[in-house]
Chains A and B, each alone.
Chain A
Amino acid sequence: MFSLADERKDFLDTVEEQIAYRPLRKKLSQELEAHILDRMEDYQEQGLPPKEAEAAAVRAMGDPVLVGTELNAVHQLQKAPALMVLTLVLLLTGFAASAYMRWSPEQYANGFLYYIPGVLVLLLVSWKGYPLVIRHMRWLLPLAGALLLAGQIFSIRRWGVFWRIGYFRYFALLLSGPFLILLAYRLRRRGGKTVLMILALCGICILMPGFYGGGRDLPACAILLISVTGALALMIHRDIFGGDINARGRLYGITLAGLALAACLLGSTGHRRDLFQRFVDPDHNIDSTWDDTYNSALIRRLLSETPLAGGIELTPQELMDYGTGAWYFAERDPRQIGIYGIHSEEEEQEFEALVARIRESGGRPHYIYFNESDVTLWDILPQHYHNNYRIAICILLFGWLAGAVYLAVIGGFYLMMFGCIRKIQGKLAFSLASCCGICLLAEGVFYILGNFGYQYASFTNLPLISEGRISVIVNMTLLGFIFSAYRYDHVEAGTDPSFCQLSS
C-alpha cells in the first residue's frame, strides 16, 4: 500500500521514465507536480483527508504512461539529416579542392588539414552547443567581451609573444555577432534601448580595426553588422522584443537608423573609403598586376570569354597577355606591364627569393617568369589566391553550366539551412541561429561577389568549400550552433534563464 506522497512520486516517476531526453524530466514533472498539489488543495478544501485528496488528485491526472508518452512525442530531439549530409559532402569537396589547389607545401598544414578538426568541431557543437550556451550564459557573455577586447588590444599593441592573438581579430569579429544577440535577448524587455545599445556596440567593434588600418578586417566588420541587424530584424518580426504593432514599427525604424549610422563607420578612414571605391569600381582603381583589384578585372575578363560548356581555351599569346597584364595596361600605362608593385631593389630581391623557394619546393607560381613555351591557365590565374576563386575556376575549367550547378548546390545548402532556422520555435535558439546563419550567408555572398570580380577589401571564406586555417573552425562552430539550436528546440525551448526575472 502506498504512503502519502508515494502515489504522487510513483505517478511522476512513471511519467519521467517515458521522457527520452533526461535533462527535461525534472522540468516536466515539476509542472505536473504543481498541478497535482493544486488539485489536492481543492479536494482538501472540499473535506477530503490529505491521503485521499492526493490519491484522487493523482487519479484525475490519468494514465502516467500515456501522459509521459505524449509529452515525449512532443519533446523529441530533432535531426536535420539532409542538411547534415549536404554539409559533409560540401566539406569533402572543400577538403579535396584545398588539397589540390595548394599554393605551397606549407598549405598542407595551414589549409586543408584544418578540415579534420573542423568536422570534429561541427559534430561537437551540434551535439552539445546550445544546451551549454544557455546553461553557462552568465559567465559566457563577460568572457566573450573580454576575449574580443583582448583581441583588439593585441592588434593595436603587440606585446611580446602574445601579439599573435591579434591575428584572430577577424574571426573574433565574426563570432561577436551571436554574443551581441545573446545580450540583446537577455535585455529584450528594454526594447528600443537594447536595439540601440547593441548597434552601438556593433559600431565600436567596426570602429576599432580602423585605429590600426585594419583593411583585412573590413569584410568581417560588414558581416558583423549585417548578421546583427538581420538577426535583430528577425527578432522584431518574431515579436521577441514584445509590444504592439506600433512598437514593432518603431523598433524597425531604430534598427534601420542604427544600421545606416554603423554602416557609415565602414568608411570612417581614407583607407576604408579607398577599399570601397575599389569594390564598386575595380576597373578604374588598378595599380599593378600585383594588386587584388587587377585580379578582379582579370577574372571578369576570363569569365566573359568562357563558353557555356567546356573550359576556356586561350592561345599562348593570349595567356602571355593576361599573365603580364599587357591586355589591361597596354592601352592605359605600358610602363606597368609586368610590374608587380615592387618599388625598390630590396623588395625585388626579397620577392625573387620567395619565388625561388616556392619553385624549389614544387609550388606553382611563375610570376614574372612567364614564358610563351610553357605558360598555362594556372600560371595566369591569381596565383596563391586559387582558394579564393573556387567558383570562378570551376567556370573557367568546365564552363558556365558547371558553375551554375556549383552555385545551385551552394544555394540549396543555404536554403536548407534557413529552412531549419525558420522551423526553430525557441526564441533564444531562433535569435542565435538566425545570427549564425546570416553570418555564414554574408560570408558566402561576399565570396561569390569576389569570384565575379567584385572583391570587398580582403577575401572572405566560402563556408564549407573555401576554407583555411582557423576559418574552418569558426564557420563549423557557427554552423554547428544552428544544428544544435534546431536539435534541442523541442526539448530546450523555454529553458530560458531570464524567466527568473519574471518571478513575483
Chain B
Amino acid sequence: MDKRYMALGTSMLVLSLLKQQSMYGYQMIRELEQRSQMVFRLQEGTLYPVLHSLEQQGAVISMQKTAENGRMRKYYEITSHGKKLLQEKAEEWKIYETAVNQVMGGVLFG
C-alpha cells in the first residue's frame, strides 16, 4: 500500500478510537486488535510517532495519570480540531477506497 495511505489509515484509526474515549497507547493497540479481530497488528512502537505528531497538530491533547499499579500512563484525548481532521481523513479514505474498488471491480468482475 502507498505509504501516504498507510499513515492516513493509522492516524484515522487512532482518531476514531479516541473519538469514543480517552486512551493510553497500549490500550489503543489492544482496542485495534480486538475490534479488527487481529487484522490490524501494528509494530507497537510506531504508534507513538503518530500520536505525538497528532498532538503537535493540535488534533489530540495528552495528560499523564498514575495508574493503580503506580505506572505512569499518558492518556490522549481528541480535540475539536482532531474531530474535524478525522472527518477530512475519512473523506480522503473514502475516495481511496472507491478508487480501489473501481479498479478491482473492473479487473475482476468487469
* Chain A residues proximal to chain B, CB less than 8 Å: 15, 28, 30-32, 34-35, 37-39, 42, 60-64, 66-67, 70-71, 73-75, 239, 425, 489-490, 493-494, 499-500, 502-504
Contacts and interface: CB of A to CB of B under 8 A. Distances in A.
A32 B74 CA distance: 10
A74 B56 contact: yes
Contacts of B71: 34, 37-38
Given A31-B74, A37-B71, A503-B64, A60 B55 contact: no
A75 B65 contact: no
A425 B55 contact: yes
A61 B52 contact: no
A188 to B, nearest CB: 13
Q: Which applies to chain A's interface (DSSP): helix, strand, loop or mixed?
A: helix
A60 B73 contact: no
Contacts of B42: 62
Contacts of B46: 62, 66-67, 70
B64 A38 contact: no
Given A30-B72, A71-B49, A239-B79, A494 B62 contact: yes
Contacts of B56: 74, 425, 489-490, 493
A35 B63 contact: no
19 contacts: A15-B45, A31-B48, A32-B45, A34-B25, A34-B26, A35-B48, A62-B46, A63-B43, A63-B45, A67-B48, A67-B49, A73-B49, A425-B55, A489-B56, A493-B55, A494-B55, A499-B63, A500-B64, A503-B64
B65 to A, nearest CB: 5
B32 to A, nearest CB: 13
B66 A61 contact: no
Contact of B52 (A30, A39, A71, A504): A71
Nearest to A39: B26
Interface of B: 24-26, 29-30, 42-46, 48-49, 52-53, 55-58, 62-66, 71-74, 79-80
A223 B46 CA distance: 47
Nearest to A502: B63
A74 B18 CA distance: 20
B19 to A, nearest CB: 16
Contacts of A499: 63-64
A60 B45 CA distance: 8
Contact of B48 (A71, A239, A490, A500): A71
B25 A31 contact: yes
Contacts, number: 83
A61 B46 CA distance: 7
Given A63-B43, A502-B64, A504-B66, A34 B73 contact: yes
Nearest to A75: B52
Contacts of B66: 503-504
B55 A67 contact: no
Nearest to B81: A239
Contacts of B63: 499, 502
A425 B31 CA distance: 28
B70 to A, nearest CB: 11
Nearest to A501: B63
Contact of A67 (B24, B30, B45): B45
Nearest to A68: B45
A239 B81 CA distance: 10
A73 B52 CA distance: 10
Nearest to B43: A62
Identify the 8 closest CB pairs spanning chains A and B, nearest first: A62-B43, A67-B45, A70-B49, A61-B45, A38-B26, A62-B45, A74-B52, A35-B26
B28 to A, nearest CB: 10
A503 B65 contact: yes
B45 A64 contact: yes
Contacts of A61: 43-45
B65 A504 contact: yes
A15 to B, nearest CB: 7
B55 to A, nearest CB: 7
A35 B49 contact: no
A239 B45 contact: no
Contact of B44 (A62, A73, A425): A62
B27 to A, nearest CB: 8
Which of A31, A60, A67, A489 has the largest count of B CB atoms less than 10 A from its CB?
Answer: A31
Contacts of A490: 56
